[in-house]
Every structure is written in structure tokens, then in C-alpha cells.
């Protein structure tokens, strides 16, 4: 119930391509879905987040698509660049939980030049 399942574990994309990472959840009480980006040797940092009252949120080359009925959400990185190579974590939270996030296992993205 508390899990967030993330796939794939790793992803290799050519420069300029689209990177797609998927997450699924079971707990319908989740109402906040952020994505975190982690570079080697660093802590994760918030990249983009969405609430379930919208189906899509775009910030630059990064887009979250949200399907409430399927309990799935995904991160799309358009025009992927070598600098996007990092590990990406999806997460979910419940309003009022003092900021507690349930993280997916992470996806290691490599963008080849």
C-alpha cells in the first residue's frame, strides 16, 4: 500500500532523444508526486512535482504526466542531454504527513553524446 514502484532500473538514451521513467502506486491517499534528481556524490534534489488535480505539468524539458485512474505517473525528459545523466526518483506523499515522502527505487539515466 505504501510502495511506489518505479521502472526501468536503468535507461540509456541518445542525446536529443526522449527519456521516459514510469511510476505506479497503490495508496489512493497519496496526493503529491514529486520527482527528485540525484547526481553522483550528491544528495537528491527536487526536480518537478505534481498534484493529482492536473494531468500534466511541464517545466522546460521536463514533463510529468499523471493518470489518476491508473494510479500511474511518469517523467518525460525531452531533448535529453548528457548533463541529464543522473539517478531519478519518483516519490509520493500525503498532505499533512509533515513532508514524509515514499520514494521509488530510482532509475539511472545515461544520455550518450
Partner 1 sequence: DAGVIQSPRHEVTEMGQEVTLRCKPISGHNSLFWYRQTMMRGLELLIYFNNNVPIDDSGMPEDRFSAKMPNASFSTLKIQPSEPRDSAVYFCASSLALGGGFYEQYFGPGTRLTVT
What is the β-pairing status of strands 19-25 and 45-50?
Answer: unpaired
Asked if 36 and 46 touch (Cβ cutoff 8 Å), the reply is yes
Question: Cell 550518450 belongs to which residue?
Answer: 112
Sites for partner 1 among residues 67-96 (CB under 8 A): 89, 93, 95-96
Alpha carbon distance 7, 26 (integer Å): 15
Kindly write out the interface string for residues 32-71 of this chain, putting x where it contacts partner 1 by CB under 8 A and - elsewhere.
Answer: x-x------xxxxxx--x-x--------------------
Asked if 33 and 92 touch (Cβ cutoff 8 Å), the reply is yes
CB of 53 to partner 1, least distance (A): 12
Sites for partner 1 among residues 8-27 (CB under 8 A): none
CB of 60 to partner 1, least distance (A): 18
Options 57, 81, 103, 110; binder of partner 1; rule CB under 8 A = 103
3-state helix vs strand vs coil in the chain, percent to 5: 5, 55, 40
- The residue ranges that bind partner 1 (CB under 8 A) are 32, 34, 41-46, 49, 51, 89, 93, 95-96, 98-106
Amino acid at each position: 500500500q505504501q510502495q511506489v514502484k518505479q521502472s526501468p532500473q536503468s535507461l540509456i538514451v541518445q542525446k536529443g532523444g526522449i527519456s521516459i521513467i514510469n511510476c505506479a502506486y497503490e495508496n489512493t491517499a497519496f496526493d503529491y508526486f514529486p520527482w527528485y534528481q540525484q547526481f553522483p556524490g550528491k544528495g537528491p534534489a527536487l526536480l518537478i512535482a505534481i498534484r493529482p488535480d492536473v494531468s500534466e505539468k511541464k517545466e522546460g524539458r521536463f514533463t510529468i504526466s499523471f493518470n489518476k485512474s491508473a494510479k500511474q505517473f511518469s517523467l518525460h525528459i525531452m531533448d535529453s542531454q548528457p548533463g541529464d545523466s543522473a539517478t531519478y526518483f519518483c516519490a509520493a506523499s500525503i498532505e499533512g504527513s509533515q513532508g514524509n515522502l515514499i520514494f521509488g527505487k530510482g532509475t539511472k539515466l545515461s544520455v550518450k553524446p
